[in-house]
Amino acid sequence: MKRFFLHTLVVSSLTAGVALAQTSGGRIRVVHASPDAPAVDVVVDGNLVLENLPYKEYSEYIALPAGSHDIRVNVAGTATAVLQATPTVESGVDYTAIAVGLAGGGQPSLDLLLLQDNNTAPASNRIKVRAVHAAAGAPAVDIYVTTPFETLSGKTPVLTAVPFKGASGYLSVPPSLYQVRVAVAGTKTVAIDSQRLATWNGMVRTIIAVDAKGGGAPFDFVVLPDLN
């Protein structure tokens, strides 16, 4: 698995209500997974909160008061919005907002996929892993989780026929060395391969399948470090 992407983000104050959000609001993070979109700025309720976010990068969680919020994704350095949404944030809930699809007029079209996160700690001696299909250029996929470099012959996928914008629930497995492979649904034709993936007790991860920059193969993963 590729190393976790780390990015220093510019986060400005949203209003005095953000302080209140620490106790009565929720949290949201943003992932740039549109392969043909340029770097973007993210504006929440008229306030610039993320600046120059490139493809395959993501923000930390941002605290927001409970309620509906206007989120606009602009071409970096401009007021040109490529995506706008008004998600409702519930108190005490974490969310991941993923910009998916194609910005240049192709199909599937640009959209904001909003996921509700579960960042509670796993059970003792377990990890939690969630998979998201955000690769606009890939068909429905099967996902295999094995020990490193184990043959897929005779193996059954842990997730089958996951469509674009599909997200699994959290899989609970013991910490170990794993290899995650994403194959075209109904085949053993691997499109994305994590290689060797180390895990440890108590970790929670969201694994997002994405296109190459510009769209299509070779496909890749973005791994979000949800917890630990």
**Mean pLDDT, all residues of the chain:** 89
At residue 185, does pLDDT exceed 90?
A: yes
- For residues 203 and 99, state if they share a domain: no
pLDDT band with cut points at 50, 70 and 90 for residue 18: very low
- For residues 96 and 129, state if they share a domain: no
Task: Identify which has the larger pLDDT, 117 or 228.
Answer: 117
- For residues 177 and 207, state if they share a domain: yes
At residue 3, does pLDDT exceed 50?
A: no
Q: What is the mean pLDDT of residues 93-108?
A: 94
Q: What is the CATH number of the domain that holds 27?
A: 2.60.40.1120
CB 96 within 8 A of CB 130: no
At residue 218, does pLDDT exceed 90?
A: yes
- For residues 125 and 112, state if they share a domain: no
Q: What is the mean pLDDT of residues 169-185?
A: 96
Q: What is the mean pLDDT of residues 40-58?
A: 97
pLDDT band with cut points at 50, 70 and 90 for residue 106: confident
The structural domain count of the chain equals 2
At residue 9, does pLDDT exceed 50?
A: no
At residue 7, does pLDDT exceed 60?
A: no
Q: Mark out the alpha helices in the chain (DSSP H runs).
A: 17-24
- For residues 4 and 110, state if they share a domain: yes
Taking alpha carbons only, the member of 117, 140, 142 closest to residue 128 is 117
Respond yes or no on whether the N-terminal peptide bond of residue 108 is cis (omega within 30° of 0): yes
Task: Please compute Rg for the chain using Cα positions.
Answer: 18
CB 152 within 8 A of CB 197: no
At 181 the pLDDT is 96
Which of 117, 140, 172 is the last residue in one of the domains? 117
Which domain covers residue 197, as residue numbers?
120-228
How far the first Cα of the chain sits from its last, in Å, is: 17
At residue 220, does pLDDT exceed 90?
A: yes
Query: What does the buried/exposed string (b/e) look like for 188-226 if buried means 16 or more CB atoms within 10 Å of the residue's CB?
Result: eeebbbbeebebeebbbbbbbbbbeeebeeebbbbbbeb
- For residues 1 and 103, state if they share a domain: yes
At 105 the pLDDT is 87
Residue 23 has φ and ψ, to the nearest 5°, of -115, -30
| DSSP assignment letter at 23 | H
Q: What is the mean pLDDT of residues 48-57?
A: 98
- For residues 4 and 112, state if they share a domain: yes
- For residues 78 and 2, state if they share a domain: yes
At 22 the pLDDT is 44
Taking alpha carbons only, the member of 153, 186, 180 closest to residue 168 is 180
At residue 170, does pLDDT exceed 80?
A: yes
Which of 117, 138, 153 is the last residue in one of the domains? 117
Give bridge partners of residue 193 from the DSSP assignment: 181
- For residues 139 and 70, state if they share a domain: no
Q: What is the CATH number of the domain that holds 222?
A: 2.60.40
Which of 117, 136, 154 is the last residue in one of the domains? 117
Q: How far apart are CA 193 and CA 88, in angstroms?
A: 35
CB 46 within 8 A of CB 70: yes
- For residues 167 and 106, state if they share a domain: no
- For residues 51 and 104, state if they share a domain: yes
Residue at token pair 């892993």: 129
pLDDT in tens, 109-149: 999 999 999 999 999 999 999 999 999 999 999 999 999 99
- For residues 91 and 132, state if they share a domain: no
